[in-house]
Structure 1
Amino acid sequence: MEPLSLTDHFLIAMPNMADPLFARSLVYLCEHGDHGAMGLIVNKPSGIAMAQLFDQIDLPLEIDPLRGESVFFGGPVQPDRGFVLHAPAGQWQSSLVVKDDMALTTSKDVLIAVSEGRGPARMLLALGYAGWSAGQLEQEISDNSWLTVKADPAILFDLPAESRYDAAMALLGFDPSLLSGDVGHA
């Protein structure tokens, strides 16, 4: 029997999540397997606009709609490193294909393409990522820290950041106020 993979799923922080880094977080899992898991928090803007980030890496960003777009706090691991979640997957130097039409890229070539107006049609730029060692995420799920649901790209790319958590919660099909923070209780 093949182990369950939560790649291309959302992790939704339980309403009672106490960790301030992850409270009300929506994480998009880019990779999950025996070795652990990694994903991006996709609903917490960092306070940095894309224009600022591109200025810091000496790339002009002249595309007006993108200049004011937020760079996200992707997680506490490697917060000085950029991660571009994008669709379509394309052909970039350092990409992890999450699924057929979506990838996570860490190489600068995708940012150069964005600055030149030939980047991916849909994208989310984050600094840092969220990571779990082997078995850690499974333990956190069994401890009732996270809910999981198959990801919807429309939530990632079409909704404002402040609407993503509630929209992902709605995918579960029940009222989250009915959830208990205690494992084994309704």
Structure 2
Amino acid sequence: MTSSCYCLRNHFLILMPHLDDLNFTQTVTYICDHSEYGAMGLVVNRPVGLTLIELCDHLNLPCTSPDNQQKAVYSGGPLHSDRGYILHQSDNPLAWTSSHLIADDIYLSTSIDAIEAAAEGHFSQDYLVALGCASWGPNQLEEEMIDNVWLSCPANSDILFGTPAEERLQAAASVLGVDLGLLSAHSGHA
């Protein structure tokens, strides 16, 4: 079934609670890109158990900013776990080799120089580092939305950057006015 593209860029996705997908259960996924070619996002509330200084050690990069050394690194999704992604707000997004504007104040950077900048304390705004991502093929996410796999709501930087990771799921659900514990395991269409 083909559907027209409803753009979910700069939205949060929450997997319906009754579905069992270990990659997305109890997660908030931030959609970075969505077009007729598919979608790409990052899980933003699942720390991987690695800090920025440990990631930098693994990459043989100095981590000179004491404020950032213990910053959590997130599991961005089940694909490309060897790739790093940084969601950030920036006064100077063109300072890094690969930065893409997602929304008015949110950028995605994928280059090693952005990780170096984070490790050296050059981001003037907050940021989130993730390893791996989630992606969907053409029309796949639209079909999953029709099948009631996901809840979606517009994202906001306060939840993304200002809310502790363990509170982001409930914060995103609250934007919708939803208590995830009260959702039915059955879906339907009116």
TM bucket (normalised to shorter chain) is over 0.9
CA deviation string 1:93-120 (max 9, x = no partner) = 1122101321111111112222332125
Q: Which runs of 5+ in 1 are unaligned?
A: none
**Counterpart contact for 1:39–1:130, Cα < 8 Å:** yes
CA deviation string 1:126-155 (max 9, x = no partner) = 000000001111111111111000001111
Q: Aligned partner of 2:59: which letter?
A: I
**Counterpart contact for 1:84–1:125, Cα < 8 Å:** yes
- In the alignment, what sits opposite 1:166? 170
Please give the alpha-carbon distance, in whole angstroms, between the structure 1 residues aligned to 2:80 and 2:33. 16
Please give the alpha-carbon distance, in whole angstroms, between the structure 2 residues aligned to 1:98 and 1:135. 20
In the alignment of these two chains, the number of paired residues is 185
Q: Aligned partner of 1:75: which letter?
A: G
- In the alignment, what sits opposite 2:8? 6
Q: Which runs of 5+ in 2 are unaligned?
A: none
**Counterpart contact for 2:160–2:168, Cα < 8 Å:** yes
State the secondary structure of the residue aligned to 1:134: coil
Identity over the aligned pairs, expressed in percent? 43
State the secondary structure of the residue aligned to 2:143: helix
Deviation at 1:68, TM superposition (A): 1.1
Q: Aligned-pair RMSD on alpha carbons?
A: 1.7
Please give the alpha-carbon distance, in whole angstroms, between the structure 1 residues aligned to 2:102 and 2:33. 7
Q: Aligned partner of 1:160: which letter?
A: P
**Counterpart contact for 1:86–1:120, Cα < 8 Å:** no
Please give the alpha-carbon distance, in whole angstroms, between the structure 2 residues aligned to 1:31 and 1:120. 24
- In the alignment, what sits opposite 2:17? 15
Please give the alpha-carbon distance, in whole angstroms, between the structure 2 residues aligned to 1:112 and 1:101. 21
**Counterpart contact for 1:111–1:119, Cα < 8 Å:** no
Please give the alpha-carbon distance, in whole angstroms, between the structure 2 residues aligned to 1:37 and 1:183. 24
Q: Aligned partner of 1:99: which letter?
A: A
- The answer to whether the aligner puts 1:180 opposite 2:172 as a matched pair is no
Mapping of 1:5-154 within 5 angstroms? 5-88=7-90, 90-91=93-94, 92-154=96-158
Range moving further from structure 2, 30-39 or 112-121 = 112-121
Range moving further from structure 2, 101-110 or 58-67 = 58-67
Please give the alpha-carbon distance, in whole angstroms, between the structure 2 residues aligned to 1:177 and 1:101. 32
Q: Aligned partner of 1:105: which letter?
A: S
**Counterpart contact for 2:41–2:134, Cα < 8 Å:** yes
Q: Aligned partner of 2:71: which letter?
A: E
Please give the alpha-carbon distance, in whole angstroms, between the structure 1 residues aligned to 2:151 and 2:63. 37
